[in-house]
Amino acid sequence: MAEIFPKWTNRLPLMILVGVLLLGGAATAGVWYYMSPKYARVGYQPVQPVAFPHSVHVDQLGIDCRYCHSHVEKSWYSNVPSSSTCMNCHNQVLKDDSRLALVRESAATGKSIPWVQIHKLPDYVYFNHSVHVNRGVSCVHCHGEINKMDEVRHAKPLSMTFCLECHRNPAPNLRPADKITDLAWDPHANLPKDWGKDKMKDWKVNASQNCSACHR
């Protein structure tokens, strides 16, 4: 009697089971990795060519973030300050300190300091700093308490979930324009409950949840 099915089909259930296990394992590993702090870069704290303690410059000296990151209110990109900006102070303060040798050399030669980028979004994500800053979103909401960091680290996940949580309900994360860079200021302790909702109307805050808002 002729066989209806070829012999290899006897192994088909086992092959299907192995395939399901492999695909399931790969999917689980992918989700595990892409949802992990490693992928989100949370905790990433590289050694920089020149130590820059934000805790000293911001908390102790009271320097506003925008003095160094001067493009943050008018550009999609929050610029790294040039060496000449550093030397505005350090041509007098600690002007011969060995720790600032690379800064002095950079200012004299025009050669950039090779800073290591810490906060980095994927290439397929569009983010405009000026839009957020000018609508009441503080630096601290996305970057954490940088004012207390001796070495800057990646404090927040900056994942799609992180962004969408704010876009779905931006009101609690808004603050007055003059408090944007006051990282120690607590809006929840200093503002009325519905202040953010009122400002969303006044400032015409339209936090889109459409894919094209961030993926262009």
Number of domains in the chain: 1
Instruction: Tell whether 165 is covered by a domain.
Output: yes
* H/E segment holding residue 17: helix 12-34
Tell me the whole-structure pTM to 2 decimals: 0.79
Q: Please give the angle made by the CA atoms of 158, 168 and 205, to the nearest 5 degrees.
A: 100
Instruction: Tell whether 160 is covered by a domain.
Output: yes
Instruction: Tell whether 17 is covered by a domain.
Output: no
Per-residue exposure over 15-30, b if at least 16 CB sit within 10 Å of its own CB, e if not:
eeeeeeeeeeeeeeee
Token pair 């992180």 is found at 162
Residues, the chain: 216
Instruction: Tell whether 85 is covered by a domain.
Output: no
Instruction: Tell whether 110 is covered by a domain.
Output: no
Give the structural domain span for 147. Answer: 40-47+72-79+117-214
pLDDT at 138: 97
pLDDT at 194: 92
What the block records as the tokens of 134 is 């000018």
Instruction: Tell whether 207 is covered by a domain.
Output: yes
What the block records as the tokens of 72 is 């943050």
Name the stretches of the chain with pLDDT < 50. 1
Instruction: Tell whether 204 is covered by a domain.
Output: yes
Q: Are 200 and 132 in contact (CB under 8 A)?
A: no
Instruction: Tell whether 201 is covered by a domain.
Output: yes
pLDDT at 17: 86
* H/E segment holding residue 141: helix 139-143
Per-residue exposure over 90-120, b if at least 16 CB sit within 10 Å of its own CB, e if not:
beeeeeeeeebeebbebbeeeeebeeeebbe
